[in-house]
A and B are shown apart, each in its own frame.
Chain A
Amino acid sequence: MTDLITSTPTGRGAGERSSRWERVTLLVPGLGYVTAFMAVPVLLVLSYVFFQRGRFGGVVYEFTWDNFSRALSPTYRAVLVDSVVIAGSATILALLIGYPVAYAIAQLPARWRNVALVLVVIPFWTNFLVRTYAWIVLLSSEGLVNRGLESLGVIEDPITLLYTRGAVVVGLVYAYLPLMILPLYASISKLDPELREAATNLGASRFRVFRTITWPLTLPGALTGCIFVFVPSLGNFVVPELLGGGKFVMVGNVVRDQFLKARDWPFGATLALVLIVVLVVLFFVQSRVSRRVSTGGPS
């Protein structure tokens, strides 16, 4: 903060006349708010990972490593692995659906491009719980999918779709697909078509053009999309509960229960730490990759 206030105003000419007072009134309230209602709370809860739970909930500020050893015990390790597998499947599926869709939108005439983008975003603005609930209606044994398959003669009796791992993955893909498509679209629409033409003219097959030009250049967008799907999927506790019927416990469910039911805040915080670490590592990877792509370094 101090070097923010003492640093010289940059450019903009009005610099000399703008008083220190003006800078303070513009910057301090907003930055102060983020500090008070995000930075401090998040650091506070992360500090809990080193402390013990109180006898009646709450936190006793006595140092311990116990939360970590408990988080790595077989029970919770299994939860962590399972969460990564489920969130990872959702991410890969979203990428496989999102890439061709983003590519197609980028090829549309300008007018239709905006329409298509708005259409992709609209479901995202629909209440998250309502969207998840819609899949209960679709996937239940009397639901549309089962009835459709029955009337087509594919199946005789309803098959179990709801409360399966697949239902959880589909629910997560549905919830976050727009967050995959938008960054992908942004990076695909920036591609220079001449690069592809040049490659084609030099005799590269379509697959080769994709593998050596399109995919490497759009990798930063793809990674951003993957982060936007993976991170919220990993911490989600509503979809596993509603579409998994409580059979699939993910990190988010355990964190929720530690905070609201078991009242073991330090242990809940320790599992939440996983979410932060994953986020930081992924953003680090993403920024490395996008820097390499934009400077045209070796890939």
Chain B
Amino acid sequence: MKALGWLRLPLALCMLFLYLPIAVLVVMSFNGGRSAFSMDGFSLRWYGELAGNSALLEALGNSLVVAAGATAIAVVLGTTLAVGLARYTRSSALDAYAMSPAIMPDLVLAIGLLSFYSLISMTLGLFSVMLAHAVFGMAFVVAVVRARLAQADPSLEEASRDLGAGALTTFRRVTLPTIAPAVVAGALLTFTLSLDEFVIAFFTNGPTTPTLPISIYSMVRFGVTPEINALATVLLLVSLTVVIASARLSRRTEATDE
């Protein structure tokens, strides 16, 4: 730590900048009073209100359905595509194409999908959001699995084939165990990104099926209440768990290489 010298100051200030807003929300969520700005005794009442808010719970349910579906599509298509790209192409252009939904501005993707859905007269609802979330989720799955495959030893697959295993057996017994941690990390990534995604869902959801971020958006626009603080705290806890889980997974991925 000594080598840091004066750099300790920007690092500390940055952490303060990153965590102060979050800390304020967490503290305020235990507010006993009605104000979202000043503490008035400790209480869990806003968590109670949250648990009884059926509109929000329904939106949460919608979000979970969308995220689960998008993750399933993204994992299947993304994993096969990553394996295919690693095995059959050296075209960096195709790699870039497969991962491009991850860098496409969300607003552009959102209006593009809205236009596309309208062109093919698809009914907007949870399904259209799910298909939309799967496309960027897949890009992340490809990126993570592709990186893992780049480090893997191709001779294992060859050996399996030389010993007479078919394509499916080789995939199931050799390739899949090698990339499993990356697949799980990609799935977690897709699931979390989908749960949080707002802009694309805002454009491609139906009028009666808000996802959680869409409900939060209308709550926040409406005004500031301690209920949002409680919701924010719960969401923070969930994200924290997922981030730590995926950090562990990726560390395990690195560790198995050595």
Give the size category of B's interface with A. 35 or more
Main secondary structure of the interface of B (DSSP, over half): helix
Interface residues of B in 188-236 (CB under 8 A from A): 192, 196, 198-199, 203, 213, 216-217, 220-221, 224, 228-229, 231-232, 235-236
Contact across chains for B89 and A4 when beta carbons are under 8 A apart = yes
Interface residues of A in 218-276 (CB under 8 A from B): 231-232, 234-235, 237-238, 241-242, 252, 255-256, 259-260, 265, 268-269, 272, 275-276
Give the distance in Å from the alpha carbon of A142 to the alpha carbon of B77 in the complex: 50
The proximity string for A residues 103-126 relative to B, scoring 1 for CB distances below 8 Å and 0 otherwise, is 111011100101010111111011
Contact across chains for A127 and B235 when beta carbons are under 8 A apart = yes
Interface residues of A in 110-158 (CB under 8 A from B): 112, 114, 116, 118-123, 125-138, 140, 142-144
Partner of B107, one of A116, A128, A235: A235
Measured between beta carbons, the chain B residues less than 8 angstroms from A22 are 167
A55 at the interface (CB under 8 A from B): no
Query: A42-B109, A48-B115, A127-B235 are contacts. A14–B135 as well, Cβ < 8 Å?
Result: no
A100 at the interface (CB under 8 A from B): yes
Please give the distance in Å from A59's CB to the nearest CB on chain B: 8
A37 at the interface (CB under 8 A from B): yes
B44 at the interface (CB under 8 A from A): no
Contact across chains for A30 and B142 when beta carbons are under 8 A apart = yes
Contact across chains for A30 and B138 when beta carbons are under 8 A apart = yes
Measured between beta carbons, the chain A residues less than 8 angstroms from B83 are 26
Give the size category of A's interface with B. 35 or more
B interface list, Cβ under 8 A from A: 1, 3-4, 7-8, 10-11, 14-15, 17-22, 24-25, 28, 35-38, 73, 77-78, 80-81, 83-85, 87-91, 94, 97-98, 100-101, 103-109, 111-116, 118-119, 131-132, 134-135, 138-139, 142, 154-155, 157-158, 161, 167, 192, 196, 198-199, 203, 213, 216-217, 220-221, 224, 228-229, 231-232, 235-236, 239-240, 242-244, 247, 251
12 A-B pairs with CB atoms under 8 Å apart are A10-B90, A13-B158, A37-B116, A38-B101, A38-B112, A41-B113, A41-B116, A109-B1, A129-B220, A134-B232, A252-B107, A255-B107
Instruction: List the 4 shortest-distance A-B pairs measured between CB atoms, nearest first.
Output: A30-B81, A26-B84, A41-B112, A134-B21
